[in-house]
């Protein structure tokens, strides 16, 4: 696979985590996590199951509170609750493994809903924007269908369009292709590669090593709640430093 031209991230932090700690009961799931994501940067997070990748994502848009440390978005600490929190959620789009579309709404309505509710757009304006985004993810012809009438790959592209519709400052992807049949993975990755080329700020948890290698500016490797390595893909894949990363890569690259 040829290397794709990478976007040139600005040297300007958009997301910053400083000394973040989180427990679930006695389980210490995030341990002194420090992470900076620059504006326009694509950071891929990889690591074994249970290492805290999803929790990390969920703290960034405050689906999960943290006990200590600070998280800032665009220089502002994350809000605790209320209206500011809803605004934050709009600014950090999240795409999950399970697409989480509303089953009883059309594709178009799924993409428009939060634009009207949170961004306070009129319905016509929201629908216009939704159609533009559905066209970008190759699904305009499916606008009037219901999620169940689409394949998994198509549903995930709708979920991406829905996240983009909020004009987010950053996009978080938590294993967006893990629930997909193999033949559908690439259509979703292609949309993500396009977003990366456009200079979107993205944090992507994935086991797709091709994406990590060729679309990411940095790879963050997590194990047991810690960031163990944070390096360029080239460095990470050719010369991982830690035993944990070497072990992980040998397992994941074997099949």
Ligand X SMILES: Nc1ncnc2c1ncn2[C@@H]1O[C@H](COP(=O)(O)OP(=O)(O)O)[C@@H](O)[C@H]1O
C-alpha to C-alpha distance for 125 and 199, rounded to whole angstroms: 25
Q: What's the CA dihedral at 21, 176, 95, 238 to 10 degrees? A: 50
C-alpha to C-alpha distance for 197 and 14, rounded to whole angstroms: 17
The answer to the question of residue 54 lying near Mg ion (CB under 5 A) is: yes
Minimum CB distance to ligand X, residue 174 (Å): 7
Of 29, 37, 191, 192, which one interacts with ligand X (CB under 6 A)? 29
The answer to the question of residue 50 lying near ligand X (CB under 6 A) is: yes
Question: DSSP E strands: which ranges in 75-140?
Answer: 76-77, 92-95
* Closer residue to ligand X, CB minimum distance, 99 or 248: 248
The answer to the question of residue 54 lying near ligand X (CB under 6 A) is: yes
The answer to the question of residue 51 lying near ligand X (CB under 6 A) is: yes
C-alpha to C-alpha distance for 58 and 66, rounded to whole angstroms: 10
* Closer residue to ligand X, CB minimum distance, 158 or 212: 212
* Closer residue to Mg ion, CB minimum distance, 54 or 115: 54
Which residue is it, tokens 């066209």?
135
Of 16, 40, 44, 55, which one interacts with ligand X (CB under 6 A)? 55
The answer to the question of residue 59 lying near ligand X (CB under 6 A) is: no
Q: Any long-range contacts for 128-133 (C-beta under 8 Å, 24+ apart)?
A: 129/165, 130/161, 130/165, 133/161, 133/164, 133/165
Minimum CB distance to ligand X, residue 188 (Å): 18
C-alpha to C-alpha distance for 253 and 200, rounded to whole angstroms: 28
* Closer residue to ligand X, CB minimum distance, 54 or 115: 54
Residue 24 touches which of ligand X, Mg ion, none (Cβ within 5-8 Å per kind): ligand X
Binding site for Mg ion (CB under 5 A): 53-54
Binding site for ligand X (CB under 6 A): 24, 27, 29, 47, 49-55
């Amino acid at each position: 696979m040829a290397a794709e031209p990478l976007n040139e991230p600005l040297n300007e932090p958009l997301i910053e985590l400083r000394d973040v700690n989180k427990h679930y009961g006695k389980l210490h799931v995030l341990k002194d996590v420090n992470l900076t994501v620059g504006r326009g940067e694509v950071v891929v997070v990889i690591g074994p199951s249970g290492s805290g990748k999803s929790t990390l994502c969920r703290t960034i848009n405050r689906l999960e509170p943290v006990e200590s440390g600070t998280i800032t978005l665009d220089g502002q600490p994350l809000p605790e609750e209320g209206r500011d929190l809803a605004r934050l959620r709009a600014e950090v789009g999240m795409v999950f493994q399970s697409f989480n579309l509303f089953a009883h709404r059309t594709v178009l309505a799924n993409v428009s809903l939060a634009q009207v509710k949170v961004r306070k757009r009129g319905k016509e304006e929201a629908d216009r924007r939704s159609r533009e985004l559905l066209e970008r993810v190759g699904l305009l012809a499916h606008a009037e269908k219901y999620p169940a009438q689409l394949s998994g790959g198509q549903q995930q592209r709708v979920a991406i369009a829905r996240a983009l519709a909020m004009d987010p400052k950053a996009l978080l992807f938590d294993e967006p292709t893990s629930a997909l049949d193999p033949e559908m993975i690439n259509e979703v990755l292609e949309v993500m590669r396009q977003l990366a080329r456009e200079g979107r700020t993205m944090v992507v948890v994935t086991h797709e090593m091709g994406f990590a290698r060729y679309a990411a500016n940095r790879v963050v490797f997590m194990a047991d709640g810690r960031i163990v390595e944070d390096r360029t893909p080239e460095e990470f894949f050719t010369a991982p430093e830690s035993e944990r990363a070497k072990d992980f890569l040998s397992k994941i690259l074997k099949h």
